[in-house]
Amino acid sequence: YPSIFYGSDAVVLSKLDLMNYLDFDLDECKRRSYEVNPKARFFAMSSKSGDGIEQWLEWIRWAAKSPK
């Protein structure tokens, strides 16, 4: 879905806690996301461990205050 990534301000990848069990290259995912939209912020997170959640929430707070 390149058009979705192209128009997005952020890319959120969840289920980070499953990375040890999947054949998935996080760095490659980031690289390809930035190729499509170099301005989008990339957030990888796990709700199970809490990793990355605070950074994402901080960005949401910032984005909500920013002029459109």
With 90 as the cut, is the pLDDT of residue 1 above it? no
pTM (predicted TM-score): 0.82
pLDDT single digits (tens) 18-60: 998 999 999 999 999 999 999 999 999 999 999 999 999 999 9
Q: What single-letter DSSP state applies at residue 48?
A: T
With 90 as the cut, is the pLDDT of residue 14 above it? yes
User: How far apart are alpha carbons 63 and 46 in whole angstroms?
Assistant: 21
**Number of structural domains in the chain:** 1
Domain that holds residue 10: 2-65
The rounded Cα 50 to chain-centroid distance in angstroms is 14
